[in-house]
A and B are shown apart, each in its own frame.
Chain A
């Protein structure tokens, strides 16, 4: 006679060994590894995108007859790439043999250091890219278009190193703004790209901290 589903269920679980709970330990180890690996992959992808974008951008800007812009852009991206590549290599030195809490804390401090470094760099590269773009256009074959456009502007007779003062003031003002807000712009960019991972890291650390405190009490 066929056993009913209910019978299979009941008799199957009569044996107490069927319901032995697995040991609850190292709750966060896999989560920690997963989040660090995910971040590394994203960081690596971002660096590759910078390298490819830099090369294509350089070629494209040269084709557009903007050599100064191409040079500034390529220099900025090369510096960003090299610095961040070194920073990423530094992540390999974080000791993986320690507890996952210590590992995540080490990762978190690495993360804060690299964010602070990139935020400082952003204060320089945002204005540099802006100045490179504007001055690159000014000193390129497209420059005469701007000369003509500025010809009617008041005070266009005031010239500094070949650039009209009427153009120089807003350019410098904008560059100053980019310098001032550079780190904030970088952090906005960072949040758009890595926001979820960073939030997850904070959440994980907060959980682990709570878990440790609860275990100690």
Chain B
């Protein structure tokens, strides 16, 4: 991957990728792996971008798909040794950002289902319902209800932690 491509087409959208990767990982090491894999996949798939959507929407979709794929792979390889990873999660997941409230929010987001994580991140990034539906492959008619349900769940998870 040329540094020009990275600087011009990935770096301006690094925020999107970071936010997504953080929601699907528990440790700094995993986060960096996911981030790198997403960048690599963007570079590898760049010729598949058909300009049917904006570059940022395409980057979102691809990042989400990469995260979901990696998460599945991770689950398969770790499921027999889940207990080995618990202390690592507990230590690192609260240290990703300087902002404590944001860390708590991420901790709550990580407890959602895989698709719900993507949906709420897109909502928080102020994507339209149609875009959220397109990116996550869900039905646009139900997105509003789904978001309300997710927000309620997050509120419950955060309740008592953030004022």
Q: Is the CB of B99 within 8 A of A18?
A: yes
Contact A9-B124, Cβ < 8 Å, known A3-B162, A217-B2: yes
User: A2 CA to B151 CA in the complex, in Å?
Assistant: 14
The reply to whether the CB of B44 lies closer than 8 angstroms to some CB of chain A is yes
Contact A22-B36, Cβ < 8 Å, known A2-B163, A5-B154: yes
Q: Is the CB of B102 within 8 A of A12?
A: yes
The reply to whether the CB of A21 lies closer than 8 angstroms to some CB of chain B is yes
User: A15 CA to B154 CA in the complex, in Å?
Assistant: 23
Q: How far is the CB of B93 from chain A (nearest CB, A)?
A: 15
User: A91 CA to B37 CA in the complex, in Å?
Assistant: 28
The reply to whether the CB of B105 lies closer than 8 angstroms to some CB of chain A is yes
User: A13 CA to B125 CA in the complex, in Å?
Assistant: 11
Q: Is the CB of B18 within 8 A of A12?
A: no
User: A35 CA to B31 CA in the complex, in Å?
Assistant: 20
Q: Is the CB of A19 within 8 A of B14?
A: yes
Give per-residue flags for A1-12: 1 if the beta carbon is below 8 A from chain B beta carbons, else 0: 111011011011
Q: Is the CB of A8 within 8 A of B35?
A: no
Category for how many chain B residues contact A: 20 to 34
Q: Is the CB of A6 within 8 A of B36?
A: no
| Chain B residues positioned under 8 Å from A168 (CB to CB) | none
| Chain A residues positioned under 8 Å from B33 (CB to CB) | 30
The reply to whether the CB of B74 lies closer than 8 angstroms to some CB of chain A is no
Within 8 A of B (CB), among A1-51: 1-3, 5-6, 8-9, 11-13, 15, 17-19, 21-22, 24, 27, 30
Q: Is the CB of B98 within 8 A of A15?
A: yes
Contact A21-B98, Cβ < 8 Å, known A3-B162, A5-B105, A214-B1: no
User: A2 CA to B104 CA in the complex, in Å?
Assistant: 14
| Chain B residues positioned under 8 Å from A217 (CB to CB) | 2
| Chain A residues positioned under 8 Å from B6 (CB to CB) | 24
User: A18 CA to B33 CA in the complex, in Å?
Assistant: 18
The reply to whether the CB of A207 lies closer than 8 angstroms to some CB of chain B is yes
Considering the complex, give the chain A residue whose CB is closest to the CB of B100.
A12
Can you list 18 contacts pairing A with B, beta carbon distance less than 8 Å? A1-B163, A3-B163, A5-B124, A5-B154, A5-B158, A6-B124, A8-B102, A12-B101, A12-B102, A13-B19, A15-B99, A17-B98, A18-B97, A24-B1, A24-B35, A30-B33, A211-B43, A215-B1
Give chain B's interface residues, CB within 8 Å of chain A: 1-3, 5-6, 11, 14-15, 17-19, 31-33, 35-36, 39-40, 43-44, 97-99, 101-102, 104-105, 124, 151, 154-155, 158, 162-163
